[in-house]
Homo-oligomer: A and B are copies of this chain.
Amino acid sequence: MSDKLSKVKEILGEVFDLNRAAAVLGWDQQVNMPPGGAEARGQQLATLGKIAQEKFISDEVGSLLEDLKKEFSDTETDEGAMIRVAARNYDKARRVPPEFIAEQALAATKAIEAWVEAKGKSDFSIFRPHLEKNLELIKKYVSFFPPAAHPYDVLLDDYEPGLPTAEVREIFDNLRPKQVALIKAIGGAKQIKSDFLQKPLNEKKIWDFSERVIAEFGYDFKRGRQDKAPHPFETTFSVNDVRITNRYEKSEPLATLFSAMHECGHALYELGGNPAYERTPLAGGASLAVHESQSRMWENLVGRSLPFWQHFYPDLKKTFPSQLDGVNVKSFYKAINKVKPSFIRVNADEATYNLHIMLRLEIEIGMVEGSIEVKDLPEIWNAKMRDYLGITPPDDAQGVLQDIHWSYGAIGYFSTYALGNIISAQLWEKINREIKNLEEQIRKGQFAELREWLRVNLHQYGHKYDPRDLVRRVTGQDIDPAAYVRYLTKKYTDVYGL
């Protein structure tokens, strides 16, 4: 191996270790930390972040990468891909001054606090100046980069490398009318009974049930664990230590199960990574959208399918006999797939979810290009909700204030959720062409072939390919909503007898 390559790998390996250490500290903060630990933890995370950044953006790394780009110009090789990804990250990191990062972090801390208060009181005016500040900083961030076709491209690129705003808009413009039409058709169909889903469940029993399910999916508890936290998330400490969190909410007792499947989907992606990529920039997932395609696949395409419940429903019914008394598997399946336009994105069903995302993308683009002002957000939000979903949020807590993302300055993130749904359906069609009896396997509780297909065709590539490129390699198609529309239409035709 070239001396320069081994030198850069050594430095990047240390940066990697620092980031993984920070992940452990972040996980502990959510899962275990007593309240007293908060102040020092913030300091520890800031120090780890600062040192990782300093190590990464050194002139030494820059000149090593410059030389290595010539030596390893074939990006089909792992070395070439690693240098490509590292050089791109390096270029981005060098453009943003450390003082700016500190300023943004400080503004975010204050804005998160204001957002919590604003949401609690359902008063947008408390959050408004902070969002204006965050937006100003976001515009400044964009200014550090070379002009793009659209300023939003710079932001999106941090989450979906290489995917331009225009393409996402085109995808969404294509999808929107079909999803709106579907929802309208469902609205005219006979409505589904689902009140039994709200009956409280024994917390430990649904938790244990969720662990039985993800263990059958192939989540290996010798290489991970599920802990309680305020919000479900997946976090990676190494390719052999990938953890998930979950919670139980009285108002949504089955969410514990669907969240476990969702986070398990993320975890299987990370666990399926190529061990040779550890401590290099190729470790991890290709992008947020591709990651989300995995979580949504296990949660929805598998976990809300009839074959899945034909396998698991007897166990669920045995676990909760009184709650499910008189409910057969088909009624249960219909209930968990009930469509109802609602205010809150995270609780939205599959038919309406993407519309919540489109609304946010349009507002974000408008804010970044200056066509939408922060002060007008509540009104614009509510108008779009009426337009897409036919409902008006009763207050801003259930409207424009519902998501945390903008408070910590994450603009450019939301569309990845919808793109994940779209990609999951494209992958699903491809998989079903290659695993002919997949439905039958799922009906028998067999997930090994599906999981292995995903590992071999997708997971093992980590960051090697950009998301657009990866989707094309795996499915032979560009990112395209047609498969998702087919999936939704088929499912709801069945569920609602359209």
Smallest CB–CB gap between A168 and chain B, Å? 35
User: Which residue of B18, B33, B41, B241 contacts A34 across the interface (Cβ within 8 Å)?
Assistant: B241
Is A278 on the interface with B (CB-CB < 8 A)?
A: yes
A241-B37 in contact given A21-B21, A28-B28, A51-B51 (Cβ < 8 Å) = yes
In the complex, the answer to whether A238 meets B37 with C-beta atoms within 8 Å is yes
Q: Smallest CB-CB separation from A35: which chain B residue?
A: B222
A28-B34 in contact given A41-B238, A47-B17, A238-B41 (Cβ < 8 Å) = no
In the complex, the answer to whether A224 meets B28 with C-beta atoms within 8 Å is no
In the complex, the answer to whether A21 meets B40 with C-beta atoms within 8 Å is no
Chain B residues with CB under 8 Å of A20's CB are 40, 44
In the complex, the answer to whether B223 meets A43 with C-beta atoms within 8 Å is no
Q: How far is the CA of A364 from the CA of B459 in the complex (A)?
A: 53
Chain B residues with CB under 8 Å of A40's CB are 20, 237-241, 278
* A residues contacting the other copy or chain, number (CB 8 A): 39
Is A100 on the interface with B (CB-CB < 8 A)?
A: no
Chain B residues with CB under 8 Å of A17's CB are 43-44, 47-48
Smallest CB–CB gap between A453 and chain B, Å? 22
Q: How far is the CA of A48 from the CA of B16 in the complex (A)?
A: 11
Is A349 on the interface with B (CB-CB < 8 A)?
A: no
Chain B residues with CB under 8 Å of A144's CB are none
A residues 429-476 touching B (CB-CB < 8 Å): none
In the complex, the answer to whether A21 meets B44 with C-beta atoms within 8 Å is yes
Q: How far is the CA of A227 from the CA of B28 in the complex (A)?
A: 13
Which A residues have a C-beta under 8 Å from some C-beta of B? 13-14, 17-18, 20-22, 24-25, 28, 32-37, 39-41, 43-44, 47-48, 50-51, 220-225, 227, 237-241, 278-279
